[in-house]
Structure 1
């Protein structure tokens, strides 16, 4: 079992948004304790798709692109996934995609238009594909989801239970939407959730920072990616990571 290091408060992505009063409240309530890794770890990659990161110099053509922020995070995700695969850690990849006619969009359509663009998340389009930097390995699983959480209406929970997983490293985007929803559901199912902050991304910096803060306060360990890579590098002693 490995416990990630606690980052310096000044290094945390949300540090600039908290007042001294906020910090006093956190200290009094003893929020943000580290839970660390358990005995068996999996990586859950949330919606690392082309529509989420667009193309350098052409982001105006990709209506949901997170731009350079997303592309930098994809590079970190790819590094982490390769390390997990080398260590024999199972990886699960979600893809969010919708029918072209919006038949499966549900209440989301009350908040946002169905965008008729091949550069969005419509099924069968280039936008719905995983980014090319990610290559699922034999034994990894790729599946479609229709809601923010990687657990809702998907086989993820069953796969994790079958493999005896107790810790999920959650990466991808967007931090304030699908990452946050997946982390909260993971905690509700009593998984340890680990979020390497370099490997998650969002369109709006303040949403990213405060969502990381909310997750770290009570439902996940938000840690430097180096902590996760160090965990993967440890001898496995005959067990799944």
Structure 2
């Protein structure tokens, strides 16, 4: 698999990785779940109108949504639970916290304000019966949410993490997943970011320490195998 971070590594970097034996594969477990991070309209914008969507990740986001839909559809067909997070901020900014020190509260129906069009899940993704959709207020899908309890209840050992943005909420969720000793799998084509270097370096950091960054085809093949085994 061609990875987006390879061009950023020097020979010295590669030597450090080899010496420390970083990046070993952890592999899939027996009980996976899919976590879709913030695949909302404000994140992917609208072709030809991204200037109207202040947090749009543009075409990279829209391409990733197609890959996410493939992961979700395959998982649902195999009886694998899917969890969808939605990042929402109160219209008066009362729950934005320290984030407001880094960014303005945007008065736009195309942003992540609660009840806005931008806060809606993209239409390409449809939760199935048994899937769970919940709101989060911080980067990680674990922080202040019921996600951990749902995973424990279902005996989950592997999280397939998709969505955006790679350098923000995906990364935070993957690191927390590792802290809770879940195997974290990131389908490379099913995550997205606004800035290519942020995307590439974040994938590298996750793959180096806390997750397996894998081709989409390998992840969907694993999910299809679960369905075949069940039959």
Q: Normalized against structure 2, the TM-score is what?
A: 0.98
Instruction: Give me the whole-angstrom Cα distance separating, in 1, the residues matched to 2:184 and 2:225.
Output: 19
Q: State the match for 2:93 in structure 1.
A: 102
- Return 5+ residue gaps in structure 2 as ranges: none
Q: Does 1:232 align with 2:223?
A: yes
Q: Does 1:188 align with 2:179?
A: yes
Q: State the match for 1:70 in structure 2.
A: 61
Instruction: Give me the whole-angstrom Cα distance separating, in 2, the residues matched to 1:228 and 1:76.
Output: 11
Q: State the match for 1:3 in structure 2.
A: none
Q: Does 1:139 align with 2:123?
A: no
Q: Does 1:45 align with 2:45?
A: no
Residue 233 (structure 1) shift:
1.0
Instruction: Give me the whole-angstrom Cα distance separating, in 1, the residues matched to 2:191 and 2:125.
Output: 15
**Secondary structure of the structure 2 residue equivalent to 1:183:** helix
Q: State the match for 1:218 in structure 2.
A: 209
Residue 138 (structure 1) shift:
0.1
Residue 168 (structure 1) shift:
0.1
Q: State the match for 2:109 in structure 1.
A: 118
Q: State the match for 2:47 in structure 1.
A: 56
Task: List structure 1 segments (4+ residues) > 6 angstroms apart after TM superposition.
Answer: none
Instruction: Give me the whole-angstrom Cα distance separating, in 2, the residues matched to 1:83 and 1:238.
Output: 14
**Secondary structure of the structure 2 residue equivalent to 1:44:** strand
Structure 1 residues 106 and 81: alpha-carbon distance in aligned structure 2, compared to 1, 3 A threshold:
same
**Secondary structure of the structure 2 residue equivalent to 1:169:** strand
Q: Does 1:30 align with 2:25?
A: no
**Secondary structure of the structure 2 residue equivalent to 1:128:** coil
Q: State the match for 2:71 in structure 1.
A: 80
What is the RMSD of the two structures over their aligned residues, measured on CA atoms?
1.0
Residue 13 (structure 1) shift:
1.3
- Return 5+ residue gaps in structure 1 as ranges: 1-6
Instruction: Give me the whole-angstrom Cα distance separating, in 1, the residues matched to 2:199 and 2:71.
Output: 20
Residue 238 (structure 1) shift:
4.7
Instruction: Give me the whole-angstrom Cα distance separating, in 1, the residues matched to 2:38 and 2:182.
Output: 20
Q: State the match for 1:203 in structure 2.
A: 194
Residue 235 (structure 1) shift:
4.1
Instruction: Give me the whole-angstrom Cα distance separating, in 1, the residues matched to 2:39 and 2:16.
Output: 35
Instruction: Give me the whole-angstrom Cα distance separating, in 2, the residues matched to 1:31 and 1:90.
Output: 30
